[in-house]
Amino acid sequence: MGLDITAVIVDWAELENIPVLGRESALFEAADPDDYDGALEEGWAWLPPAGGSFPSWCARYEFAGTLGSFKPHFWAGERWEAMREHVPDDLRSALDTFLAGLLRVPPGADDVPPGADDDPGDGGAEPWYDAMLVYCPPPDVPALAQAWSAVGPRLEALREPFNIHAAAPGNWVGRFEEFITLLHGWAEVVAEADRRRWGLIGLPI
């Protein structure tokens, strides 16, 4: 079995009301309540008004075509690395900013190449941070939203460099359409977090 990811947006004020040592378990319980059957294939599993056991301070997003696996996200990052030097500078900078806030190589992930960086790069974070695949407090979300505003209207400019330098049909995120679909999913998550002034977390479930 490979690594999974569940993206949630979180009301940070509510999260900070939970004792630090209890935050990780509270997030896991909030994102995956006992009565959630996981039948939704794409989109928001919950948005207010609350349904089922989802709390009012947490909303979960399901990425299309991933079945909850982290592998498509990892390989989206690899496809970007393969093509990024062939993308116009301003577009490359914006997408670098967007993806750097969302995708990193976690310790123990499947398909991680030797020597890949698994350091979250935030030595001042709370003790449970290392268990998260994404950790983006509310002050960091607007920069991601702004980066996407520069990327979103120009996605078609990525098609040719992707097809020439990154395409791998039959493999994870091997087609341009799969790459774009995943980007759109993250853009939806960022946009909703930004609208609410919430944070964004990727749980390994």
| pLDDT tens-digit map of 99-115 | 988 875 444 444 433 33
Domain ranges across the chain: 6-203
Amino acid at 160: E
Q: Output the pTM of the full model.
A: 0.85
Contact indicator for 71, 111 with CB cutoff of 8 Å? yes
pLDDT of 23-71, one tens digit each?
889 998 888 887 777 767 788 987 655 555 678 899 999 999 888 899 9
Contacts of 25 (CB under 8 A, 6+ apart): none
Amino acid at 48: P
Q: Name the percent of the chain lying above pLDDT 90.
A: 57
Q: How many other CB atoms are found less than 10 A from the CB of residue 178? A: 20
